[in-house]
Structure 1
C-alpha cells in the first residue's frame, strides 16, 4: 500500500472523510493533519436581544503554521503529496475569504508569512524530487461567507449580486487587481450596505497574488508536478473573469498549455470541493500505473452537456467533464471510438 500526504481544503466530509475512503479503495493510505489543525467552522458566538439575533462572531479556521510543520514532519515517509494551498496559506476555504484591511504588498513580496508557508512546497520537491507533488488552488468565489466574522445572509446576497456585474476587461495583473470595482465603461460601482466592499477587494487582491505566486514561483519552476485551480462559486461574467483568463494565459505561456489548459501540468475549471477526489485518482494512477491514461467516454441522455451552464459555473457541463477527466489523468474519447467505455 502506498502512502500519500493529503492536506484537505477543510474538514468537511467531502474534502476529508470521503477522500480518505477513496484512497483506501485505491490502495492508498491517506495521511492527514490533526483534525484540530484543519477545523473550519462558521461563527460560534451570537449576540441576541431577546429573540432577535443582533450578530455573530468567532469563526474557526485551520492553523497554517501547523500545516506547514506537518508537511515537513511527514515528507520523508510518504510516496506523494496532495496539498490544498488554501489550507496551507489561509487555514481553509472560508479563511481564504476572510475580509482584510489591506491586500498585501507588491507582488511577489506581498506577504512574507504567506510566501513562507507556500514555499514548503518548494522545500519538499527539492528534497524529494521523485515524489509527485500535486497542488489544488482556488480562485476566490463571488460572495462573502455567511455567518463568518459577523457577516449575515444579507452580505452574501449583496456581495454576490455586485460581484456578478460585468467588469472592465483587463489582461495585465496590476490592472486586474486595481480594476475590481470598474464596470465595462470604467465607471465605479456604488457603495455597499451589508459588507465592506474595500475590505472584500483587499481579500481578492491578496488571494489573487497567491494564485500568481503558486503559478509563477512554484508551478512554472517545476516544484509542482500538477496544479488544479478551481473557480469556486462562479458565473459567466463578473469580477472573476479577468482572473480566470489571466490564469489561463499563464498556463499557456509558462506551462505549455493550449486554450488555458495543459492536462500534464495544470487545469483550471469550476470546482472546489471535488478537487481532492480528482487528485487522489490522479495520484493512484501515477503511483500504480506510471501515469498510463485511462480512456473515458461520456454519453448524455437529453441535451448535450455543451448546451448547459450551471448557475454557479462559468464553463459548460461538457467542458467541465473534459477538464475533470484531464485532472484524473485520463483521456476523453468519442463514444463510437470506444464502444465499451470504462465510465459512462
Structure 2
C-alpha cells in the first residue's frame, strides 16, 4: 500500500475529510495531520507543527499533496488576514526543498490559491473592515481594471472617482498590501516548479470574476507561468475546496498508470456556454480544466469513454439553489434544458452500456437540483451512480464528482464509495438545497441564532439539522434496497453555510 501525505487547505470537512473518505477502500493510505493542528477559521493552523509533521514522515511516503496557503499562512481564511512579511513567507515556502532532500523520489503536488475579492460586504471570512467596505473594495478593483483596459464608460469613471475618495486609505492599503504579498508567494511557488521541487501544481481561483483585483492577479500569475514555459505543469482554473480531491485522483491515476477517458453529456445545449455564478469563464472551459487536472481526458463519444459524466446545467443564467422553491420558475430551468433526457441517458449508461455514470449537478449554485434528485430516484439510479455532487460552486462540484468517479473506475462499488455517495446526496441535496434554508428561515429566529452564528458545533441547531436531514433521507433518498443513516452532524464553523456529516448506507 502506498502512502500519501496530505496537508489540507483548512479543517472543514470538504478539505480535511473528503479526500480521506475517497481514499478509503483503495490501495492508498492518505495520512493527515492531527485536526487540532489545523487551526479554526480565522485562527491559523500551527504552521511549525505542520512542517515538522511533514519532515518527520516524508522519508516513508510515496507522495504528498500540500496546500501552500496552509503551510505559509495557516489556511485559506488566514491567507486573507495575515501580517506576514514577504521574507517570512519566502522562508516557509522554501522549506519544500527540504522535503525533496529528505525523499528525492517523493511525488509532490501543491496548490496555492489566488486571494479572492468577494463582491459583497461581510467580515465572516475577511478582515473586519470588509463588513463595511467589502462591496466597495470589490467594485473599485473592477472599475480600476476596466479603466486600465480602456473599457470604462463615463458613468463608471465617475463611480471610480467617488470610490477612490470614499474608501479609507488605511483600509485600501492594508488590503492591497496583503494581496501584493500573496501574489509574490504565487510567483515564488511557480518558480519552485521550474526548479522541479514540485511535480505538479494547481493555482485555483476562489470566487472569481472577469474583472477586478483577483482577475489582475490571475493574469500576472498566468504571465509568469508562461514566461517559464510551465503551462503543462501548472493549471489555473476556478475552484478551491475541491482541489485536495482532484489532486488525490490525479496522484492515484498516476501511480496506477491510467488516464481514463470521460464523455460529458449536458442537460442543455446552452449549458456549456453559461458562465456559472462566482466564476469567470464558460462552464465548458472549466470542465476541461477539471478533467485534465484529475488525471483524465475528454472523450468524443460514449463508445470510446471509460466513464460518462452527466452534467445538469441551467439553460441560461445560473441562480442559487434556494431560488428553485420560488414560484414562476426561470425559463432557463424549464424550457431551455431537459433533465428528463439527462436522466434517461444516465439510466442507459448504467444499464445498457454498463459504464460508470457520474452526475455533476451544477444547475444551481450552492445546492442540488431537487427535481433531478427525484427523477434519478424514480429510475432507481441514486445508489448505482459512480459519483454525485451538487454543492457550492460549479468548480467545487466538478472536482469532487470527478475525483469520486475516477476512484470508482479503479475500485468499484466499495462500502467507502457508497457511504461517500450517500453523504453527497444528504449534504448537497438534503442540506444545501433544502434543510439549510428551512432551518435558517423557520427555526433560527425563535432559537436566538442567525445564519452566521449558531450555538456551537454540536448544539441544539446541529441536533435539529440532523433530525431534518434524516427525515429528508427517508423521504427523498432511501430506496427499497438502501437506507441512509446519519451517525454524526456538526456545524464546523458554528454557522449555517456548511455542515459536517458522518453518513453510512445500510443495505436492506
Counterpart Cα distance in 1 of 2:48 and 2:183: 21
**Is 1:295 paired with 2:273?**
no
Counterpart Cα distance in 2 of 1:79 and 1:225: 13
Give the TM-score of the pair, scaled to structure 2.
Answer: 0.54
Map of 1:131 onto structure 2: 106
Residue by residue over 1:74-130, the C-alpha shift from the partner in whole angstroms, topping out at 9 and shown as x without a partner, is 111211000000000000001100064xx84xxxxx31x222211221111233222
- Over 3 Å counting, the alpha-carbon distance change for 1:278 and 1:2 in structure 2 is same
Counterpart Cα distance in 1 of 2:303 and 2:170: 53
Is the CA contact 1:37–1:63 (under 8 Å) kept in the aligned structure 2? Answer: yes
Of 280, 284, 290, the match for 2:252: 284
Residue by residue over 1:15-55, the C-alpha shift from the partner in whole angstroms, topping out at 9 and shown as x without a partner, is 011111012243322111121211222xxxxxxxxxxxxxx
Map of 2:49 onto structure 1: 66
Counterpart Cα distance in 2 of 1:249 and 1:25: 41
Of 198, 209, 231, the match for 2:205: 231
Tell me the secondary structure at the aligned position of residue 138 of structure 1.
Answer: coil
Map of 2:132 onto structure 1: 154
Residue by residue over 1:177-208, the C-alpha shift from the partner in whole angstroms, topping out at 9 and shown as x without a partner, is xxxxxx8xx97833326981110001100100
* Deviation of the 1:340 alpha carbon: 6.1
**Is 1:219 paired with 2:187?**
no
- Over 3 Å counting, the alpha-carbon distance change for 1:165 and 1:312 in structure 2 is farther
Give the TM-score of the pair, scaled to structure 1.
Answer: 0.78
- Consecutive aligned runs of 4 or more in structure 1 exceeding 6 Å deviation: 168-171
* Deviation of the 1:153 alpha carbon: 3.5
Residue by residue over 1:51-71, the C-alpha shift from the partner in whole angstroms, topping out at 9 and shown as x without a partner, is xxxxxxxx4121211111111
Map of 1:114 onto structure 2: 89
* Deviation of the 1:9 alpha carbon: 0.3
Is the CA contact 2:264–2:308 (under 8 Å) kept in the aligned structure 1? Answer: no
- Over 3 Å counting, the alpha-carbon distance change for 1:244 and 1:86 in structure 2 is same
Tell me the secondary structure at the aligned position of residue 247 of structure 2.
Answer: helix
Tell me the secondary structure at the aligned position of residue 240 of structure 1.
Answer: helix
Counterpart Cα distance in 2 of 1:68 and 1:167: 38
**Is 1:330 paired with 2:296?**
yes
List runs of 5+ in structure 1 lacking aligned partners: 42-58, 105-109, 172-182
Map of 1:95 onto structure 2: 78
* Deviation of the 1:72 alpha carbon: 0.5
Map of 1:310 onto structure 2: 276
> Please, what is the CA RMSD of the aligned residues?
2.8
Tell me the secondary structure at the aligned position of residue 196 of structure 2.
Answer: coil
- The structure whose Rg is larger is 2
* Deviation of the 1:150 alpha carbon: 3.6
**Is 1:275 paired with 2:243?**
yes
Residue by residue over 1:227-257, the C-alpha shift from the partner in whole angstroms, topping out at 9 and shown as x without a partner, is 0001111101111222222222232332443
**Is 1:321 paired with 2:287?**
yes
Which one scores higher on RCO, CA 8 angstroms, separation ≥ 6? Answer: 1
Is the CA contact 1:255–1:266 (under 8 Å) kept in the aligned structure 2? Answer: no
Map of 1:53 onto structure 2: none
Map of 1:75 onto structure 2: 58
Q: How does 1:33-44 map to 2 (within 5 A)?
A: 33-41=33-41
* Deviation of the 1:151 alpha carbon: 4.2
Counterpart Cα distance in 2 of 1:145 and 1:255: 38
Size of the aligned set, in residue pairs, is 298
Tell me the secondary structure at the aligned position of residue 24 of structure 2.
Answer: helix
- Over 3 Å counting, the alpha-carbon distance change for 1:343 and 1:39 in structure 2 is same
Map of 1:48 onto structure 2: none
List runs of 5+ in structure 2 lacking aligned partners: 150-156, 311-508
Is the CA contact 1:191–1:197 (under 8 Å) kept in the aligned structure 2? Answer: no
**Is 1:84 paired with 2:67?**
yes
Of 166, 179, 184, the match for 1:204: 179
Tell me the secondary structure at the aligned position of residue 245 of structure 2.
Answer: helix
Tell me the secondary structure at the aligned position of residue 228 of structure 1.
Answer: strand
